[in-house]
């Protein structure tokens, strides 16, 4: 590969082609068509390994629950189970997929700020390990469902830690003015906890927070951790009850472009683990089990998306639009959060970068621009464009806008490939539609 080339992240090249986990991406695009999501299994496993080394093995009595909203498919959940991690789901659909993947019920945590009765019934019936209460209606609801189904439930409370987070406002969740979490108002929070204490069906496990996403600074985690620890102490004082668990959420940032600096897990986790231990020792508390909920950091960098280049429109002195056969329908993040990406021409990896272009999507929407001002070699229709770091919140936020079918997903590992989601067909897209 030529020097000075846009950083290819974790891929390699051979004969001018991009290789991802040993597979030729140009051949893959030819074989399965585009748009195509491709995941390196080895890169996902590498993240799981990093979490083991920097958290699970380093600190006893800890768990990692993969936040499956980042990428929730049967194959991915099987991989997570194989790696012995727990799972966070936030809807009946994510839970349904987990059940289809035979994910062990006791390792599933159910989050969500507006769980429906049907979703809670499904979760309680399956016997999920934790229900993370996120609204004032929920405790009563869970209790009545437990009674009806003769089941028990383990309860955590998601709190709003009231911390400010250095990330895009659209993905901040820990601030006071947030739809997420139970407010830290004693008259609101404690009656809920007391209801759990009073219930035969419910067991109180502890507190949960999630401050925000795509963070490269640990200050929000540290601030929120202090809030949760003080709450644990307050519960001990008020009720002489030692909580069993604290969940510090996810949010660990990844590298989308050269501008991003990815911090290792220990950068976020060492300070909060030290704080937790210190606080417990000082206040004579038992160190609870600490759970984290990373989503993005496990899958983002393992995933790339392949598109075929089509129409090219040059506005001299202004801009050159290079259109691809997908865009906001398979990656809404640029349109929604002004997220930046980078990419390369997968069949011209070694060619000289000779122009600046804007990669535009095919949806009827002006914001459907995938990458702005990207250096590329000369391109023609039929070339394959690969966008890096699309493994999280790409497939999971994909839509059928303009009635574009959802792309296929392929896992690659050591030169072998496996389709884990087939491309949606036109017929599947309209299968629930009824002629009048």
Provide the binding-site residues for ligand LLP, judged by CB under 6 A: 67, 70, 88, 111, 171, 173, 210, 213-214, 249-252, 293-297, 333, 337, 393
Q: Smallest gap, in angstroms, from Cβ of residue 21 to ligand LLP?
A: 22
Q: Is 296 known to sit in a ligand binding site?
A: yes
Q: Is 245 known to sit in a ligand binding site?
A: no
**How many C-beta atoms surround the C-beta of residue 381 within 10 A?**
11
DSSP symbol at 262 = P
Q: Which residues contact 295 (CB under 8 A, 6 or more apart)?
A: 66, 67, 68, 69, 70, 71, 88, 250, 392
List residues bridging with 86 in a β-sheet: 65
Q: Please identify, using beta-carbon distances, which residue of 250 and 335 lies nearer to ligand LLP.
A: 250
Q: Please identify, using beta-carbon distances, which residue of 171 and 412 lies nearer to ligand LLP.
A: 171
Q: Please identify, using beta-carbon distances, which residue of 333 and 362 lies nearer to ligand LLP.
A: 333
Both structure tokens of 385: 């464009």
Write down the catalytic residue from 23, 225, 255, 364. Answer: 364
**Contact yes or no for 264/36 (Cβ under 8 A):** no
Q: Is 253 known to sit in a ligand binding site?
A: no
364 is catalytic: yes
Q: Is 295 known to sit in a ligand binding site?
A: yes
Q: Is 241 known to sit in a ligand binding site?
A: no
The alpha carbons of the chain give a radius of gyration, in whole angstroms, of: 23
Q: Please identify, using beta-carbon distances, which residue of 171 and 243 lies nearer to ligand LLP.
A: 171
Both structure tokens of 361: 């999507």
SS3 333: helix
Whole-number Å distance between alpha carbons of 353 and 377: 4
List residues bridging with 247 in a β-sheet: 208, 291
Q: For 326, how many CA atoms within 13 A lie in the half-sphere containing its CB? A: 27
Q: Smallest gap, in angstroms, from Cβ of residue 122 to ligand LLP?
A: 19
Q: Smallest gap, in angstroms, from Cβ of residue 111 to ligand LLP?
A: 5
Q: Is 6 known to sit in a ligand binding site?
A: no
Please state the separation of Cα 107 from the chain's center in Å: 17
Q: Please identify, using beta-carbon distances, which residue of 17 and 391 lies nearer to ligand LLP.
A: 391
List residues bridging with 36 in a β-sheet: 306, 408
Q: Smallest gap, in angstroms, from Cβ of residue 342 to ligand LLP?
A: 16
Q: Is 314 known to sit in a ligand binding site?
A: no
Q: Is 251 known to sit in a ligand binding site?
A: yes
β-strand 355-360 against 202-208: which pairing, if any?
unpaired
Nearest to 174 by CA among 235, 250, 115, 88: 250
Whole-number Å distance between alpha carbons of 235 and 159: 14
DSSP symbol at 175 = S
For 41-185, list the strands marked E by DSSP. Answer: 62-67, 86-89, 108-110, 130-133, 153-158
φ/ψ of 351, rounded to 5, equals: -80, 155
Residue number of the CB atom closest to ligand LLP: 250
Dihedral sign for Cα 50, 160, 77, 7, please.
negative
Q: Is 83 known to sit in a ligand binding site?
A: no
Q: Smallest gap, in angstroms, from Cβ of residue 128 to ligand LLP?
A: 15
Q: Please identify, using beta-carbon distances, which residue of 279 and 341 lies nearer to ligand LLP.
A: 341
Q: Quickly tell me which residue has 């980078």 as its tokens.
A: 342
Q: Please identify, using beta-carbon distances, which residue of 45 and 280 lies nearer to ligand LLP.
A: 45
Both structure tokens of 159: 């709190």
Nearest to 129 by CA among 85, 93, 161: 85
Q: Smallest gap, in angstroms, from Cβ of residue 294 to ligand LLP?
A: 4
Q: Smallest gap, in angstroms, from Cβ of residue 208 to ligand LLP?
A: 7
Q: Which residues contact 149 (CB under 8 A, 6 or more apart)?
A: 121, 124, 125
Q: Catalytic residues, which ones?
A: 364
Q: Can you say which residues are annotated as belonging to the binding site? A: 251, 293-296, 333, 337, 365, 393
Q: Which residues contribute to the annotated binding site for pyridoxal 5'-phosphate?
A: 251, 293-296, 393
């Amino acid at each position: 590969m030529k020097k000075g080339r846009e950083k290819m992240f974790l891929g390699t090249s051979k004969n001018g082609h991009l290789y991802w986990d040993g597979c030729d991406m140009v051949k893959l695009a030819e074989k399965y068509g585009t748009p195509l999501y491709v995941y390196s299994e080895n890169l996902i496993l590498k993240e799981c390994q990093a979490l083991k080394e920097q958290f699970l093995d380093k600190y006893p009595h800890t768990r990692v629950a993969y936040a499956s909203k980042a990428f929730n498919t049967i194959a991915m959940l099987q991989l997570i189970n194989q790696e012995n991690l727990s799972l966070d789901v936030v809807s009946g659909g994510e839970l349904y997929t987990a059940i289809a993947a035979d994910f062990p019920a006791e390792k599933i945590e159910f989050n969500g700020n507006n769980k429906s009765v049907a979703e809670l019934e499904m979760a309680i019936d399956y016997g999920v390990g934790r229900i993370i209460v996120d609204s004032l209606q929920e405790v009563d609801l869970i209790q009545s469902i437990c009674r009806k189904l003769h089941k028990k439930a383990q309860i955590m409370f998601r709190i709003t830690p009231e911390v400010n987070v250095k990330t895009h406002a659209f993905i901040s969740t820990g601030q006071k003015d947030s739809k997420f979490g139970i407010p830290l108002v004693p008259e609101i929070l404690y009656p809920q906890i007391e209801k759990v204490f009073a219930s035969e069906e419910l067991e109180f496990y502890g507190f949960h927070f999630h401050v925000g996403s795509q963070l490269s600074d640990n200050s929000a985690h540290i601030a929120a951790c202090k809030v949760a620890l003080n709450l644990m102490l307050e519960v001990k004082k008020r009720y002489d009850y030692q909580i069993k668990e604290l969940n510090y959420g996810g949010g660990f940032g990844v590298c989308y472009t050269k501008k991003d600096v990815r911090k290792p897990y220990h950068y976020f986790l060492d300070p909060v683990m030290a704080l937790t231990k210190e606080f417990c020792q000082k206040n004579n508390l038992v160190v609870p089990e600490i759970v984290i909920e990373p989503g993005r950091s496990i899958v983002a960098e393992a995933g790339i998306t392949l598109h075929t280049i089509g129409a090219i429109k040059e506005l001299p002195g202004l801009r050159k639009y290079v259109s691809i056969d997908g865009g906001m329908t398979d990656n809404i993040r640029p349109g929604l959060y002004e997220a930046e990406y980078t990419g390369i021409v997968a069949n011209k990896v070694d060619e000289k970068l000779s122009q600046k272009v804007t990669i535009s999507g095919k949806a009827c929407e002006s914001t459907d621009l995938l990458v702005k001002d990207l250096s590329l070699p000369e391109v023609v229709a039929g070339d394959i464009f690969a966008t890096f770091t699309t493994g999280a919140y790409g497939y999971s936020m994909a839509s059928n806008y303009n009635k574009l079918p959802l792309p296929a997903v392929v896992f690659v590992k050591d030169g072998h490939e496996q389709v884990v989601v087939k491309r949606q067909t036109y017929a599947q897209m309209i299968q629930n539609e009824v002629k009048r």
